[in-house]
Amino acid sequence: MPQITPSLWFDTQGLEAAEFYCSVFPNSEVRNVTRYTEAGPRAAGTVLTVEFVLDGREFTAINGGPQFVFDEAVSFAVGCADQEEIDYYWGRLSEGGEEGPCGWLKDRYGLSWQITPEGMADLLNDSDRDRATRVMQAVLGMRKLDIAAMEAAAEG
């Protein structure tokens, strides 16, 4: 099967963003940078694409211009093992960005992220619908997700 690689469109910040993301996630690196040539449309030597890896997943960033910007229709979910991981990723990725509801945030480049605990789906799909409803009500009132508060809501 061919490899599917997410490609992220930036105006001019592709390399800066890739380096930032690599600083946030373990086992990450920038692998290759290509640059515009004299053929343009941007100045020769300006970064065109950046190939990078975030914890084993390949991505490409392209500096294609200001025509397109990120919106919430596409986001990346980060499943966290515990509250410490939620706090870390929430803090790092929201630096210079904006916090949203229910574990969503936009980073400084406008890319949306969902910072969620592993097992969240189990709480929301609990066969006891009252428990699931209490968890959902709690989540709807949160920005950064709080595992202890979600579990307390489940217990009633």
CATH number for the domain running over 7-63: 3.30.720.100
What CA dihedral angle connects 130, 135, 137 and 141, to 10 degrees?
170
Q: Spell out where the chain has E strands.
A: 7-10, 29-35, 47-54, 57-63, 75-80, 98-99, 104-106, 112-117
pLDDT digits (tens, 9 = 90+) for 124-155: 999 999 999 999 999 999 999 999 999 999 99
Domains of the chain: which residue ranges? 7-63, 75-155
Superfamily of domain 75-155: 2,3-Dihydroxybiphenyl 1,2-Dioxygenase, domain 1 (3.10.180.10)
Distance CA 77, CA 26 (A): 16
Output the pLDDT for position 1. 85
pLDDT digits (tens, 9 = 90+) for 108-126: 999 999 999 999 999 999 9
Output the pLDDT for position 40. 87
Output the pLDDT for position 47. 98
pLDDT digits (tens, 9 = 90+) for 12-51: 999 999 999 999 999 999 999 999 999 989 999 999 999 9
Distance CA 123, CA 156 (A): 13
> Please, what is the average pLDDT of the chain?
96
**pTM (2 d.p.):** 0.94
How does residue 62 score in pLDDT terms, banded at 50, 70 and 90? very high
